[in-house]
Amino acid sequence: MIDLTTLTIARARKKLDAKEFSAVELTQAYLDEIKKKNKELNAYLEVYDDVLDQAKKADELIASGESHPLLGIPLAIKDVILIKGRKVSAASKILENYVASYDATVISKLKKQGVIFLGRTNTDEFAMGGSTENSAYGVTKNPYDTRRVAGGSSGGSVVAVAANLALGALGSDTGGSVREPAAFCGIVGFKPTYGRMSRHGLIAMGSSLDCIGQIAKTTEDAKIIYDAINGYDVLDSTSIKDTTYPKASLKKVIGVPWDLVNGEGVNSEVKENFKESIKKLETLGFKIKDIHIQNLDTALATYYIIMPAESSTNLARFDGVRYGLHKDGKNLLEDYKLTKGAGFGKEVRRRILIGAYVLSAGYYDAYYGKAQAVREILKKEFAKAFADVDMIATPTAPFVAWKIGEKSDPVSVYLADIFTITANMVGVPAVSIPSGFSKVEGKDLPLGIQFMAPHGGENLLFEVGKKFEEMR
């Protein structure tokens, strides 16, 4: 019997190589858990029918003496990342039953490692949301309290790992979509520097914000996945080379924007937990510095202009002509209207409308142009802050996971992103690490602490993450 609750990728690698269990046995253990739990949690939209065949091939490679960090490791993949010959729907009716014609670059790299792909996981439609309530295929539920959201948009991937339905997973992070659900479900969510991870084969939402993120139980496991798939890719014009940024060294100074942390809308227990986490960091020898980043209070509003604008442009391609859902009208314009009306959900339509508005003649300069100007100011402010500190720490989310259906006002959901969106706006790497629990209605609900590092500073995040986990 394999104990999945304590199993990590690092431990599984050693046990597979030592023949303590086979890839088939490990995979079967996850399939058994999926069968038991997925109906209630709704983490997977599809479990692949060739999973055990993939595991058999991995066992053959292990038997031949081959070894890679992820060989024979069962992973879950968010339903926005293309795997050739498999369905990918972005949890939308407009792409229902669409089959990918090529592999995303990160998938090609995982295939070379001998990864076992368990299935595709649920997400907010086109990754638009912070709760996985916006999926066309039902809500993903939080394993700590199934009345509550898992967070989003990578809720399915996060729940797969948190509920022991996968050993690790890939998600996408445009404004916190890996980190926020990781905090809500008590695991690690990692977002790399923009351009460090190829976006080729990722269904685009906000092209200047999107990152493929790593989801795991520990920082060490997140690093194993990151190491396997990062790197320059000629197929992604925004991809950067390893030499783009100098490797940062840990000086043990962490900046905290206390004015933001102590601001309105942040739950008192979240503040208290964060202060306790800061004390732990001080016992580890870190110096804590109070920092003020000008215009940080404008970041959320700026994000919710840029992201819908880019989303609106990216989603224009889903017109029912080349692929996906198609509805027949009296003419081409009616075809478009009927197809998009039937295929896109409410949140996607809302963001398309906002994006089209801010990009329209007469409003472009007033909204989109100003938002881009503010973004450039924020980048300079963060660069200035990182000249004095190694990292910036905040809570990951301002409150715990809310009850399903509780936040009917979309703006209240958008406010969950106040700590996470800045990393995407300025392109720096960030990680959410479990920091404790808050007892709500008799349930222990997870909390997370977020660390942001300068561009290319992933090594700093892995280092502090490992140290922080050892204190738990």
Q: How far apart are CA 167 and CA 367, in angstroms?
A: 43
pLDDT of residue 410: 86
Q: How far apart are CA 80 and CA 274, in angstroms?
A: 32
**Where does the pLDDT of residue 341 fall: very low under 50, low under 70, confident under 90, or very high at 90 and above?**
confident
Q: What are 120-146's pLDDT values in tens digits? A: 999 999 999 999 999 999 999 999 999
CA distances from 149 to 43, 330, 376, 378 (A): 12, 41, 34, 31
CATH of the domain at 143: 3.90.1300.10
pLDDT at position 409 is: 85
Question: Shortest CA distance to 318 belongs to which of 119, 88, 104?
Answer: 88
For range 247-265, the mean pLDDT: 90
7 pLDDT exceeds 80? yes
Q: What is the structure's pLDDT at 337?
A: 86
Give percent of the chain above pLDDT 90: 89
Rounded Cα gap, residues 405 and 270, in angstroms: 22
Of residues 169, 151, 172, the one with CA closest to residue 160? 169
Residue 107 pLDDT class (50, 70, 90 cuts): very high
The confidence score (pLDDT) of residue 315 equals 94
Catalytic residue among 89, 135, 177, 239: 177
- The pLDDT score that the predictor gives to residue 397 is 98
pLDDT recorded at residue 344: 94
Whether pLDDT at 323 is above 90: no
Q: Enumerate the β-bridge partners of residue 168.
A: 75
Confidence of residue 325 (pLDDT cuts 50, 70, 90): confident
Tokens for 242? 């390893």
78 included as an active-site residue: yes
| pLDDT of 251 | 83
Which pLDDT value is given to residue 411?
Answer: 86
**Active-site residue, 311 included:** no
Mean pLDDT of 101-115: 98
Per-residue pLDDT at 319: 87
Computed over every residue of the chain, the mean pLDDT equals 95
**Per-residue pLDDT band at 243 (split at 50, 70, 90):** confident
**Res. 334: pLDDT tops 80:** yes
| Active-site annotation holds for 153 | yes
**pLDDT at res. 472:** 73
Q: What is the Cα–Cα distance from 121 to 155, expressed in whole angstroms?
A: 8
Q: How confident is the model at residue 322 (pLDDT cuts 50, 70, 90)?
A: confident
Window from 72-76, 176-180, 250-254, 442-446 with minimum mean pLDDT = 250-254
What domain range is 293 assigned to? Answer: 1-472
From residue 222, alpha-carbon distances to 2, 14, 26, 465 in Å are 21, 17, 19, 10
Q: Is 248's pLDDT higher than 80?
A: no
User: Residue 16 — pLDDT band, cuts 50, 70, 90?
Assistant: very high
Contact 463, 247 (CB under 8 A): no
**What is residue 338's predicted lDDT score, i.e. its pLDDT?**
87
Q: Mean pLDDT lowest for which of 21-35, 43-57, 168-182, 407-421?
A: 407-421
pLDDT band at 66 (very low <50, low <70, confident <90, very high): very high
The answer for residues whose C-beta is within 8 angstroms of residue 115's C-beta and 6 or more apart is 70, 71, 73, 74, 75
Whether the per-residue pLDDT at 350 is higher than 90: the answer is: yes
The rounded distance, in Å, linking the Cα atoms of 88 and 422 is 29
Name beta bridge partners: 77: 120, 170
Q: Is the pLDDT of residue 13 over 90?
A: yes
Catalytic residue among 78, 141, 191, 407: 78
Q: What value, to the nearest 5°, has the Cα angle with vertex 409 and ends 131 and 368?
A: 85
Predicted pLDDT at 390? 94
Residue bearing tokens 């100074």 = 253
| Reported pTM | 0.96
Give the residue-averaged pLDDT of 21-37: 98
Mean pLDDT, range 440-462, rounded to an integer: 96
Tell me which of 22, 89, 92, 153 is the catalytic residue: 153
Range of weakest confidence among 8-12, 47-51, 277-281, 320-324 = 320-324
Q: What is the pLDDT of residue 422?
A: 97
Where does the pLDDT of residue 214 fall: very low under 50, low under 70, confident under 90, or very high at 90 and above? Answer: very high
Number of domains into which the chain is organized:
1
